[in-house]
Amino acid sequence: MSRTLHLALHPYGVGGPGQHGLWKDPRVAKNASIDVNYYIRQAKAAEHALFDALFIVDSQFINATYPAHYLNRLEPLTLLSAVATHTRHIGLVGTASSTYNSPFNLARRFASLDHISGGRAGWNVVTSFDTGTARNYGLDEHLDYATRYGRALEFVEVARGLWDSYEDDAFPADVARDVFLDPSKLHELGHEGEHFKVAGPLNLSRSPQGQPVIFQAGVSEEGRDLAARVAEGIYAPGGSLEQAQEYYADIKRRTAAHGRDPEHIKIFIHGGPVVAATDDAARRREREIFDEDNDLGRNLALLGRSFGAYDFAAHDLDAPFPDVAHLAEKGGRTAAAQIIARAREQKLTLRQVAESANAFRRSPFVGAPETVADTIARWFAAGTFDGINLAFRTDDDLELFVDGVVPLLQRRGLFRTAYAADTLRGNLGLPVPANRHTREPVLAPDA
């Protein structure tokens, strides 16, 4: 096959949504989520296995019902800057909100990570659906859906403009001529838009990959369109093979409609593989993991996140699902709308909705190494993803995948046997963006 599979690693720490009980596992350090050495070990293991990227999620609001990892974790860019000094090739992708940041400050922070890592930074652009975040930023209410996505589009455009503040040869540093900067190669931005007014320039030059890689996770119509407009990597919802195919084809179509090359957007689906010596052992372990994490109180709290961290515990569990549609607009609107529609159509109680939201669903990527490799190969060939964002509960589980599955993918010619480049763009096969002031595109090595 001419296409190359991409793999990313998403560390669980002490356990996020769907892994509420992970912190109880004796193999998991109770301070894993705030121990930079935990992330460094994970990054090194993933880099040894030639993974494309380490992906760090984030949010800026919690209450006591949130998963253990959410309650006590490191800020992504600080964390990834530390990891950068212990790795050489693996990409470093951090989540940051376009709703609760300023473009100049965030552009500078990601550009700094890009320099520290030698061109391996990526930004996962989120609009934040935790409505309580607003109160942490002096606002009474969370912005509505349309405003959040309009702001996100403009935010990315401003950041990209700031990243082009200097042309690549702006610093001759010629002692003989007493010229450090060629001022003609420094450009103010002068942006005035609906949401932002930013003068610029940024006080940082472009990195070896030109600009950080933009990632996004678009599910709603607005999210899919934003992804097709600006994203170079997407974290897709996954689901069944047919659902993944639909999403993949839709995003590639939208990307082309916006005048972009569909090959310049890499779609990653979530994968939580369970690998064991036999298929039966892996399936048993998959069910055990579900049972370990299945707790009604936690499921109610998780359900509440789609409705702005709403406290469903205040309602009668066996009464019809409450009318909370008004909370969806400023929360996770797409997921909330789906939950409400299903509850109405099937006349479900709150208890039934909470239980079904975390019902046992068999993952396709479970089994002996050969089985998991077969499934990945089949899904990849069927046009469901360009890569998988992998999450493993423990270091042992990561090792089982790296030692058992990765070599099989390499033998089939699906996965690399050596890094193609030192930058994240190079390894993803993405072009270096042309500086808007020179317009000379530089192509990255094929990957």
Annotated binding site for FMN: 58, 95, 149, 220
Amino acid at 240: S
Contact indicator for 81, 116 with CB cutoff of 8 Å: yes
Listed in sequence order, the residues at least 6 apart from 401 whose beta carbon sits closer than 8 Å to its beta carbon are 273, 275, 372, 390, 392
**CA nearest 235: which of 112, 121, 94, 388?**
388
Listed in sequence order, the residues at least 6 apart from 408 whose beta carbon sits closer than 8 Å to its beta carbon are 369, 370, 373
Peptide linkage before 201 cis (omega within 30 of 0): yes
- Gap between the Cα atoms of 275 and 257, Å rounded: 40
- Gap between the Cα atoms of 372 and 10, Å rounded: 18
Looking at residue 134, the DSSP 8-state letter turns out to be G
Start-to-end CA distance of the chain, whole Å, equals 12
Q: Record the tokens describing residue 20, joined without a space.
A: 């509420």
Which residues, in sequence order, are bridge partners of residue 94? 56, 123
Angle at 194 between CA 191 and CA 199, to 5 degrees: 20
DSSP result, 309-365: S--GGGS-TTSBPP--GGGTTTS-HHHHHHHHHHHHHHT-BHHHHHHHHT-----SS
Binding site as annotated, residues: 58, 95, 149, 220
- Gap between the Cα atoms of 170 and 159, Å rounded: 19
